[in-house]
Structure 1
Amino acid sequence: MIHLFKTRRLALGLAFSLCFCFKLFAQDTVRLQLKWNHQFQFAGYYMALEKGFYQQKNLNVEILEGNKTASPPLDAILNNEADFAISSSSVAIYRMEGYPLVALAAIMQTSPLVWITLKDKDFATPHELIGRKLPVLTPNESAELLTVFRMEGLDLKQINFINHRATVDDLINNKVDAINGYIANEPFLLDKLGHQYNLIRPKNYGVNFYNDVLVTHEKFAKNNPEIIENFTAASLQGWQYALENIDETISIIRNKYAPNKSLEHLLYEAKVIQSLIMPELVQLGHMNPGRWQFIADTYKELNLTQGDNSIEGLIYTRPKADLTWFIHAIVLSLVIILVLLVITWRFAYLSSTLKREISRRQYAERKLIKANNELKAQASSDPLTQIYNRRAFFDKGQSIVRFATRKNYPMSLLMIDIDYFKKINDQYGHAAGDLALQKVCDCIKAEVIRSHDIFARIGGEEFAILMVDCDLQASENVADRIHKRIQELHIPWKNSQSFTLTVSIGIAPVTNELSESLTQADIALYRAKQNGRNCHFTYIDEDEKDVV
């Protein structure tokens, strides 16, 4: 009987040990739903799997290819068909409509979505697509492309939408007049087939949203914070590797995921995708709460959603941990410290004196660091508007110009001047003038300034914006948006008064020397002033004249 008891106890102990070891080494299995077929667009996730980054985080990841029969990515999460998905900025629409989705990382800082038409059809603007046959997916999937028409003041009812996915063949065979596609894919196919085409890019019409956003369910994120953070970190590590090792990545994708795609096609796609991610300018996966709010406000303003919910909580944050054990540990530590203090009372005075001296020096060091930081801030920022001053504009701007020139990124410089600013000071006083400068600055920052742009006050009522990855056409669209928002701006003053104002804008391309471009923008600004103000001019160097 005793022997049997010992045998059972040994078996139970062995079983418990095996269960513990299994739990220790078991991997968490998760599913990632792609938004389309296998291609370089999802290279970071392939490399995270192939290079063992997921396995290092104790994750077993299944990558689900998107296709015609698969559920849309966000629906796949809501229907528990996937744990993670790749989506567009339309996740903000879902959030406003009450769906519990959270964004973990935005891979593409600029969207690849474009409308594509054939050159011989001569449909090159949104207005020219009125009455034409256009394929469109659900509003949530096509929200960004639909926004282009709304931004141009067009009624979507004027366009003949066809509810299905169209291909390059459909465009060539005149089944549709335009297709919605990716700038990294369909243009390559059309080039290969010998067809010239037009690209209607949303960002040229003020629609520059995030894309390929990594998304999960809010409940899943709340219950599995370690899985969420491990999966996100491993995925971004995979993207870093993919962008730094493009040839190896393309070879793996073609051999294991997309054998039907040529090496030439994958290389073309890789270069375009890299320019949309902009890893040299923006941290991989970066998301700005203000930009998300602007995206949500744009969708709502253009009636692409009827949802009234806030997007608060859209960006993932780790749940707060239960600190009860920590408090208990602190209490226990304090008791132990008190006991030790009683035992070592003879050394208490020397110990406290030493601590006071250390604290005094730390306090002095913190004060010195704070003073140095304040001096640095004062040297580089304008005290009234809290943006860069003229000195910082040239210091930081010239380094950005050199970098962008090496990478062949287009750059533009906008010089903005408040019209009749002296009249504001004369009529309302200098306090009103200061308020006007602050309001104009806040309006411009909220409307057009991106994380890698340089925005500075370079004179009394003069501002300058250095915009990277922005050609002259795009900068003129930016100027139009600034004029519109400034004209809508009503600045409150005493006794329920308010006043309005306008601005004049000079635009110039940026080449090598920032000072030279600033001079050209100043010439264009002078022409805008001559033309009656509240307008913008663009400096064209080769013609040696300015054009509106």
Structure 2
Amino acid sequence: MPVPVRFHALALAQLCVAALLLVAAPVLAVEKVTLQLKHVHQFQFAGYYAAQELGYYRDAGLEVRILEGTDGNAPERAVITGRAEYGTGSSGLLLARMAGKPVVVLGVIFQHSPYALAMRQTSSEPDIRRLIGKRVMIDALTDDLGNADELLAYLAKEGVPPASFQRVAHSFNPDDLISGRVDGMAVYTTNEPDTFDRLGFAYDIYSPRSVGIDFYGDNLFTSEAELANHPARVKAFRAASMRGWQWAMSHQEEMADLILNKYSRRSDRQHLLYEARQMVPLVQPVLVEIGYMNPDRWQHIAEVYAGLGMMQKNAGFEGFLYRIDTSRTSLTWLYRALAVAALVLVLGAAIHFSLLARERKKALEAIRKGELRFRTMFEASPLGIALIDSISYEYRDINLRYQEILGRSQQELRAMHWLDVAHPDDIVQVKAQMALLTAQQIGSFKAVSRLFKPDGSVAWIEVSVNAIDTEAGSHPHHLCMIEDVTAKKQSEQLIWQQANFDTLTQLPNRRMFLDRLGHDLLKAQRDKSRLAILFIDLDHFKEVNDTLGHQQGDVLLVDAARRISACVRKSDTVARLGGDEFTVILCELEAPDHVERIAQAILNRLLLPFELDAEQAFVSASIGITLYPDDALEIDDLLKHADQAMYAAKGAGRNRYSYFTPALQVAALSRMRLTNDLRGALKSNQFELYFQPIVHLDSGTIHKAEALIRWNHPQRGLVSPLEFIPLAESSGLIIEIGEWVFRESANWALRWRQQVDPAFQVSLNQSPLEFQREGSSYQSWLQHLQTLALPGQALVVEITEGLLLDASHAVSRRLLQLRDAGIQVALDDFGTGYSSLSYLKKFDIDYLKIDRSFTRNLAPESSDMALSEAIIVMAHKLGLKVIAEGVETPEQRALLAAAGCDYGQGYLFAKPMPADQFDAFLHKAISTAASIVKSN
């Protein structure tokens, strides 16, 4: 067998040479080369930074210097003049080649061009023809090797020729479009839209791809001289660069940190990650092998240029595209041997059939029909079927459906090996299965893998491979059946993404959070380690939604998610449960103070201002912390404890964290039971009104009183309003309770107006939740007042200062309803909130109630006295009456009266008392006053 001997000798010689090269490689000198970028450092060139920092260039024997560019033509000038061996350029490199410049494209990075046009969004449908007669910023992009021509070709195809609009030199400043200095602007879809989004600018993007103008984006190129003089260096540089790009596109966050630390801080991390996300559909790293370029796409680009008159039609560009050597060892000798063997078999069969013609005639007919049926089934099968040599992986037979799925003709496939079009990540698994199949350790296997189509796209296929019996001494074969499941995989991926991740923040949702928590708990149990859960609720987030709108609220939530994620490790989990609630799982706690450091870091990050369009918003956070296994062993208990701890932090003043304690569980159970009891309190007549007099300081007369609700619990006795009012607000029972308080107050006001003073007034407090409720009104109040024939002046509604900060329509409308009904309004606890003179002027307020914190320490020349006097003077200037709360001593009364305060309320006059006692108190006061008058 002389041919196989020569073949093995040649292979042995090649292996020896390769071994010598590997041994000698470490002592070779490192070659220095320069890569010229076309712009400043940004994620657009991430693959080259990755190849540099991860040592891919060094492993290839190269020392690479990466230079920033001042304009798009910098790489072309540098490579042609020899100042750089390699550069990055756009599809305009084709024009340079046609102009006689010796440039050679090594690989395509952006499979689609990022260039597009941006315009201000209007209420009408998007229409690129709105640019006619307008100012368009596009000129300066002509320096970038023809990209402006890509946009001009698009405009011309859409009926907007260059002569129909005014071209303005490009300033690269998005504010020119935002401010209206221009009406259209050439942009990178990976860059300027992020600025627009951050500034809240509404815009439309128009891409040349929408009309079939599909240019390549960034390309890696070199010169003919470099390729001719250093072909091995070119090959090594290209391979290392593509390897770097594969890593960069699958490690976006690490890449953003690398750029910030070593290359440039012109853009923040958020922008770099935005750029990375926008590059994914342009680079298509999963669907297309990075560096892949299709000659047909270049031909399309050439036709567009020819249509613009920038190059000749049907011009050839031989030598412009770099070609990788894919030659294989010829197997002609094998085909010849098979042909000889087939001839011998045919001659033997002819002799055999001639001897046994009669006996085998029926059998041959049956075989022929069976083969015909099998062939018909093979060709018409809805599955792709191929017969493949198990050793050489060459195709032996292929049906039509198989060709359709792979997008290649039978001639193309027969010139290839079975795994030539397979995705690199799937080859190892398939080869391992094939080895078991060839060794007869398994009879078949199934797998789902990816393959490349001629246009560079990736298809998912379900593969079923079975061993086929062959004659003794011949190569084993296997039958491969494939089915295209690309649409199914894409649908599954979309469904999985939507089911497990929050669509707004892209964080894990509740479902994914619970799944990860379950896995982390099992790991912690196995490793005997500790785990912490942080339950985070944003403080004052509702105010952002109410004042700036839900769209800006969503922007704040996205930024908050980013800030929280930046405070934890990659092994930890940050999730959004819904609304403004986030959770964090901290695994494998290293030290007890590790949780506190992270919780404090989150609080500090969230305290920083949030930039929302032209406004700034400030929020804080309340964080509840629970530990496994210290606080609980089950998921439900851990989450419940974290929630209780969060409410404890919120109740302690917000902007803090709180650990779970058993006392919180007891308090939570007490609140739950008290809330349940509260639901039946109204029907069981357990509520009672108490009244406290409001005394006119000059005359000492009483013609006002404040109504105060009390709850007589059957078992617990008298329950403080400070304890049950928050429960009523959180459960929604405050609405019914408020209605009861109003009706009782109105009934007593009517009685005292008839028996005590025709101008007697009763003040009643309204909860902010009751006051702000959308859709509510005072219609039922007004009807009740009409039924009683009681004027609105008989009642005063006391509200808190915080309500005036809420400029919502509901608050303004309800204040107007009170004014129209004659019901007066008092601003309670004045001086402790955030109201201002502008609010007092804007809304109809009748009384200011000085908070007891000022009255308590009243003394001549004291700061509290000065503040009280200032409040009284200000109120009188605005036409308001003043009521001082917490008056407990004659000295306090005298000081307030001297300062001009109108009314006083406090224990000096009387404590709050039940309505019947207060009624007797009023009548006694009338009798006493009458006796004094009579005696005088």
* TM-score above 0.5: yes
Supply the distance in 1 between the matched residues of 2:388 and 2:254 (Cα, whole angstroms).
50
Whether 1:158 aligns to 2:160 is no
Question: Which SS does the other structure have where 2:116 is aligned?
Answer: strand
Supply the distance in 1 between the matched residues of 2:460 and 2:399 (Cα, whole angstroms).
13
Residue of 72, 80, 88 corresponding to 2:74: 72
**CA 1:22/1:235 → structure 2, altered by over 3 Å: closer, same or farther?**
closer
2:400 aligns with 378
2:262 aligns with 256
Cα-to-partner distance string for 1:285-321 (whole Å, 9 max, x where unaligned): 1001111111111211232335885212211136999
1:104 aligns with 106
Whether 1:403 aligns to 2:403 is no
Whether 1:310 aligns to 2:290 is no
Structure 1: gaps (5+ residues)? 1-20, 322-354, 410-548
Q: Is the CA contact (8 Å cut-off) linking 2:57 and 2:240 kept in structure 1?
A: yes
1:131 aligns with 133
> Aligned-pair distance for 1:180?
1.2
Amino acid at match of 2:280: Q
Supply the distance in 2 between the matched residues of 1:183 and 1:404 (Cα, whole angstroms).
24
Q: Is the CA contact (8 Å cut-off) linking 1:98 and 1:307 kept in structure 2?
A: no
Amino acid at match of 1:81: R
> Aligned-pair distance for 1:260?
2.7
Supply the distance in 2 between the matched residues of 1:100 and 1:233 (Cα, whole angstroms).
22
1:83 aligns with 85
Supply the distance in 2 between the matched residues of 1:252 and 1:393 (Cα, whole angstroms).
33
Q: Is the CA contact (8 Å cut-off) linking 1:225 and 1:318 kept in structure 2?
A: no
Q: Is the CA contact (8 Å cut-off) linking 2:112 and 2:283 kept in structure 1?
A: yes
Supply the distance in 2 between the matched residues of 1:263 and 1:313 (Cα, whole angstroms).
40
1:478 aligns with none
Structure 2: gaps (5+ residues)? 1-23, 328-335, 346-386, 411-458, 463-481, 496-936
> Aligned-pair distance for 1:254?
1.1
Identity of aligned residues (%): 33
> Aligned-pair distance for 1:67?
2.8
Q: Is the CA contact (8 Å cut-off) linking 2:460 and 2:489 kept in structure 1?
A: no
> Aligned-pair distance for 1:92?
1.5
Question: Which SS does the other structure have where 1:142 is aligned?
Answer: helix
Supply the distance in 2 between the matched residues of 1:371 and 1:23 (Cα, whole angstroms).
35
1:50 aligns with 53
> Aligned-pair distance for 1:207?
1.2
Q: Is the CA contact (8 Å cut-off) linking 1:112 and 1:184 kept in structure 2?
A: yes
Supply the distance in 2 between the matched residues of 1:182 and 1:172 (Cα, whole angstroms).
16
1:301 aligns with 307
> Aligned-pair distance for 1:237?
0.6
**CA 1:278/1:407 → structure 2, altered by over 3 Å: closer, same or farther?**
farther
Question: Which SS does the other structure have where 2:397 is aligned?
Answer: helix
Supply the distance in 2 between the matched residues of 1:156 and 1:93 (Cα, whole angstroms).
20
Cα-to-partner distance string for 1:269-294 (whole Å, 9 max, x where unaligned): 11111221112211111001111111
2:711 aligns with none
Q: Is the CA contact (8 Å cut-off) linking 1:98 and 1:309 kept in structure 2?
A: no
Q: Is the CA contact (8 Å cut-off) linking 1:44 and 1:241 kept in structure 2?
A: yes
Q: Is the CA contact (8 Å cut-off) linking 1:43 and 1:239 kept in structure 2?
A: yes
2:217 aligns with 211
Amino acid at match of 2:91: S
Supply the distance in 2 between the matched residues of 1:316 and 1:386 (Cα, whole angstroms).
22
Residue of 236, 245, 263 corresponding to 2:242: 236
Q: Is the CA contact (8 Å cut-off) linking 1:44 and 1:235 kept in structure 2?
A: yes
Cα-to-partner distance string for 1:9-62 (whole Å, 9 max, x where unaligned): xxxxxxxxxxxx999442211111112121111110001000110011111111
2:97 aligns with 95
**CA 1:306/1:386 → structure 2, altered by over 3 Å: closer, same or farther?**
closer
Q: Is the CA contact (8 Å cut-off) linking 1:45 and 1:238 kept in structure 2?
A: yes
Q: How does 1:340-419 map to 2 (within 5 A)?
A: 369=389, 373=395, 375-381=397-403, 398-406=484-492
Amino acid at match of 1:26: A
1:195 aligns with 201
Q: How does 1:461-480 map to 2 (within 5 A)?
A: none
1:265 aligns with 271
Supply the distance in 1 between the matched residues of 2:461 and 2:49 (Cα, whole angstroms).
42
Q: Is the CA contact (8 Å cut-off) linking 1:143 and 1:304 kept in structure 2?
A: no
> Aligned-pair distance for 1:177?
1.8
**CA 1:374/1:75 → structure 2, altered by over 3 Å: closer, same or farther?**
same
**CA 1:123/1:85 → structure 2, altered by over 3 Å: closer, same or farther?**
farther
1:534 aligns with none
Question: Which SS does the other structure have where 2:304 is aligned?
Answer: helix
Supply the distance in 2 between the matched residues of 1:57 and 1:274 (Cα, whole angstroms).
27
**CA 1:356/1:287 → structure 2, altered by over 3 Å: closer, same or farther?**
closer
> Aligned-pair distance for 1:85?
1.2
Amino acid at match of 1:378: L
Supply the distance in 1 between the matched residues of 2:324 and 2:281 (Cα, whole angstroms).
30
> Aligned-pair distance for 1:403?
3.2
Q: Is the CA contact (8 Å cut-off) linking 2:132 and 2:164 kept in structure 1?
A: yes
Q: Is the CA contact (8 Å cut-off) linking 1:150 and 1:302 kept in structure 2?
A: no
Question: Which SS does the other structure have where 1:45 is aligned?
Answer: helix
**CA 1:371/1:284 → structure 2, altered by over 3 Å: closer, same or farther?**
closer
> Aligned-pair distance for 1:166?
2.9
1:38 aligns with 41
Q: Is the CA contact (8 Å cut-off) linking 1:144 and 1:207 kept in structure 2?
A: yes
Amino acid at match of 2:63: N
Cα-to-partner distance string for 1:235-290 (whole Å, 9 max, x where unaligned): 01101111222221111011111213221111111111122111221111100111
Amino acid at match of 1:247: E
Residue of 138, 143, 148 corresponding to 2:149: 143
Supply the distance in 2 between the matched residues of 1:103 and 1:257 (Cα, whole angstroms).
26
Amino acid at match of 1:265: H
Amino acid at match of 1:51: L
Q: CA RMSD in A?
A: 3.9
2:65 aligns with 62
Question: Which SS does the other structure have where 1:270 is aligned?
Answer: helix
Q: How does 1:393-542 map to 2 (within 5 A)?
A: 398-406=484-492
> Aligned-pair distance for 1:201?
1.1
Q: Is the CA contact (8 Å cut-off) linking 2:110 and 2:282 kept in structure 1?
A: yes
Supply the distance in 2 between the matched residues of 1:117 and 1:39 (Cα, whole angstroms).
24
Cα-to-partner distance string for 1:411-468 (whole Å, 9 max, x where unaligned): xxxxxxxxxxxxxxxxxxxxxxxxxxxxxxxxxxxxxxxxxxxxxxxxxxxxxxxxxx
Supply the distance in 2 between the matched residues of 1:287 and 1:397 (Cα, whole angstroms).
27
Amino acid at match of 1:27: V
Q: How does 1:166-205 map to 2 (within 5 A)?
A: 166-205=172-211
Q: Is the CA contact (8 Å cut-off) linking 2:129 and 2:159 kept in structure 1?
A: no
Cα-to-partner distance string for 1:446-503 (whole Å, 9 max, x where unaligned): xxxxxxxxxxxxxxxxxxxxxxxxxxxxxxxxxxxxxxxxxxxxxxxxxxxxxxxxxx
Q: Is the CA contact (8 Å cut-off) linking 1:131 and 1:158 kept in structure 2?
A: yes
Residue of 275, 279, 302 corresponding to 2:285: 279
**CA 1:162/1:408 → structure 2, altered by over 3 Å: closer, same or farther?**
farther
**CA 1:141/1:368 → structure 2, altered by over 3 Å: closer, same or farther?**
closer
Q: Could you state the TM-score of these two structures normalised by the residue count of structure 2?
A: 0.34
Supply the distance in 2 between the matched residues of 1:194 and 1:57 (Cα, whole angstroms).
46
Q: Give the count of matched residue pairs.
A: 349
1:347 aligns with none
Question: Which SS does the other structure have where 1:74 is aligned?
Answer: helix
Amino acid at match of 1:404: Q
> Aligned-pair distance for 1:357?
11
Supply the distance in 1 between the matched residues of 2:185 and 2:251 (Cα, whole angstroms).
32
